[in-house]
Structure 1
Amino acid sequence: MSQVHSNLQRSAWSDWWEGTRRTDIWWTLAWFDIVLRYRRSMLGPLWLTLSMGAMIGGMGPLYSSLFGTELSKFFPHLALGIIFWGFFSSMVADACNAFVSSANYLKQGYFPISLFVWRSIARNLIQFAHQIVLYVPVAIWAGISVGWHALLVFPAFAIAIINAHALGLLLGLICTRYRDVTQIVTSLMQMLMFLTPVLWLPENLPSRAKYILWNPFAQMLDLLRTPLMGGIANPYSWFGILGWTALSLIGSCLLFKKYRRRVVYWL
């Protein structure tokens, strides 16, 4: 039996673990993606920081005036909202194209498909690292003091990565089979940006419309942003995001087990 054939006969768990443990491959591929994107650029990935900084700097005073909110309170809220939402939306967009954009690798030989989901996550983590540094001068200017509860960002970020990987497998499989789903997801993310407190404060929301804060992106944003602003996230956000995580893990596991071998035929 050939090695390729024996690899295809592995269990779903073995297939997932083989891709997950090869950090050397997916981190290298992710780094090369960033390098190639900014090839022959003098500043390289620093353009990510500068472009995001220009957006935050331009929108902060404007939206603070529109909403009648003190700039020192609104600016950190907006900065973290834009940074984290950029991370979320980029993760989802890359999840839809995780396998399609890796077609050359998948067609040339056996690769565990989970490897390419980790590749997209690693690429977005590199981009996020270039953008989150913008919050440091904003927090210093606004005089934000964080306590021990800021450490809750780490478990919240771990949950975000787990969800990103689950959605990567789920959306990657669906969007590889049905290419129109990518456009649907893109349109949905554009709508969800305005239904998530990225550009506005939750306390400005009328009581009858509080239900929109139950969308998973709003809950994840609450868990990540509130501790960095010196507060404590709503306990309901933890319950909600843990429930959503369980559903996404179940859905991704079922699809991964059943359809992982068909990806190469769908490309």
Structure 2
Amino acid sequence: MSTSSTTAPTAPDIPPHVRPPGRDFRSAFRDLSRGWGQRELWLQLGWQDIRQRYRRSVLGPIWITISMAVTAIALGILYSALFGLELATLLPHVLVGMIVWTFISGCISEGSEVFVSNSGLITHLPAPISIHVYRLVWRQTLFFGHNLIVYAVMLVFFPQPLRWTDLSAFLAFGLLVVNGMWVALLIGIISTRFRDLPPVTQSLVQLLFFLTPIVWMYDVLRDNPAVAERARWVELNPLFHFVELIRRPMLGQDQEWHTWFIVIGIALVGWALTLLVMRRYRSRVAYWV
């Protein structure tokens, strides 16, 4: 009498080309698309952030503008005396540089904590993680708009030779926003996993402020034969190109087109890297926070 052996059914082999759900590029693009589709939410949250921060203040977010203006004026007076430059030349340079730098540094510094600071929403609200980055960049855009009040006042006291072509500043700011998005996403995901990165990022931002021609003029150093060769090392700083991209048209200066190509190239490379990170680690953010 023969005994028949029964074997348990085995699960079918999973084809090697099939990735786990949520770990492909389509999921990353879907996250960005769904986040943009819920713009009513993050637009409202961005406004709420500003109202909450200055809830009992009389001037509200205008305090940011006043603080930035006082700092820019003080630095402009100081560095114009140190470098022997006309205040009418250096102060607009510093003022516009500070306006642009406030947006850039905000995207970097706050981007390093964008998911950690929204851990409650991430763990309890099933929503795309890109919503929090849209919210951050929108909030920084509102601050940028407030700071333009100082720019308008500056034009009254220090008129600039603006031309119709300088309207490209709007396109330049659009590129700034596009780059701010991928920077906040990339740093935010990595910082959520490695919690030592946010303080390092904030220290690095402070260092980059002095390495970027915000309160000093690159053209002055470039035209100085004694330091001209070493001054060109400044062009290796990507933040220099971001600042110059929008500062030159805002001051009515001739634009250097290679700056546009550099910023666009950085945006393409940055978004490619960010999508790679999102594809692999986007679904883990909720567990890391």
Does the alignment reach a TM-score above 0.5? yes
Larger radius of gyration: 2
TM-score, structure 1 as length reference? 0.93
Q: Which residue of 2 aligns with 1:230?
A: 252
- Residue 8 of structure 1 deviates from its aligned partner by 6.3
Matched positions, count: 261
Q: What amino acid is the match of 1:127?
A: F
Q: Which residue of 1 aligns with 2:12?
A: none
CA distance in 2, matches of 1:198, 1:174: 28
User: What secondary structure is seen at the aligned counterpart in 1 of 2:219?
Assistant: helix
Q: Which residue of 2 aligns with 1:198?
A: 214
- Please tell me whether residue 208 in structure 1 is matched to residue 229 in structure 2: yes
Contact 2:75–2:215 (8 Å) recurs in 1? no
1:201-259 Cα shifts (integer Å, max 9, x gaps): 11222222212223111001111000111112212211211221111011101011111
Q: Which residue of 2 aligns with 1:177?
A: 193
- Please tell me whether residue 96 in structure 1 is matched to residue 112 in structure 2: yes
State which drifts further: 51-60 or 118-127.
51-60
State which drifts further: 187-196 or 95-104.
187-196
Contact 2:94–2:215 (8 Å) recurs in 1? yes
CA distance in 2, matches of 1:12, 1:189: 28
1:59-115 Cα shifts (integer Å, max 9, x gaps): 222221111001111111010011111111111111111111110101113110000
Q: What amino acid is the match of 2:151?
A: Y
One of 66, 83, 94 as aligned partner of 1:50: 66
After superposition, the CA RMSD in angstroms is 1.6
Q: Which residue of 2 aligns with 1:14?
A: 30
One of 248, 251, 254 as aligned partner of 2:273: 251
User: What secondary structure is seen at the aligned counterpart in 1 of 2:258?
Assistant: helix
Q: Which residue of 1 aligns with 2:18?
A: none
1:28–1:198 distance in 2 versus 1, CA, 3 Å: same
CA distance in 2, matches of 1:222, 1:57: 20
- Please tell me whether residue 41 in structure 1 is matched to residue 57 in structure 2: yes
Contact 1:214–1:240 (8 Å) recurs in 2? no
Contact 2:92–2:251 (8 Å) recurs in 1? yes
The aligned runs of 1:87-126 (5 Å cut-off) are: 87-126=103-142
User: What secondary structure is seen at the aligned counterpart in 2 of 1:25?
Assistant: helix
The aligned runs of 1:147-166 (5 Å cut-off) are: 147-166=163-182
Runs of 4 or more consecutive aligned structure 1 residues displaced over 4 Å after TM superposition:
7-10
- Please tell me whether residue 128 in structure 1 is matched to residue 150 in structure 2: no
Q: What amino acid is the match of 1:190?
A: Q
State which drifts further: 251-260 or 46-55.
46-55
Contact 1:149–1:231 (8 Å) recurs in 2? no
Q: Which residue of 2 aligns with 1:85?
A: 101
Unaligned runs of 5+ in 1: 1-6
- Please tell me whether residue 32 in structure 1 is matched to residue 48 in structure 2: yes
User: What secondary structure is seen at the aligned counterpart in 2 of 1:133?
Assistant: helix
User: What secondary structure is seen at the aligned counterpart in 1 of 2:182?
Assistant: helix
Q: Which residue of 2 aligns with 1:240?
A: 262
TM-score, structure 2 as length reference? 0.86
Write 1 or 2 for the structure with the bigger share of helix: 1
State which drifts further: 257-266 or 233-242.
233-242
Contact 1:196–1:213 (8 Å) recurs in 2? no
Contact 2:108–2:183 (8 Å) recurs in 1? yes
Q: What amino acid is the match of 1:222?
A: E
Q: What amino acid is the match of 1:58?
A: A
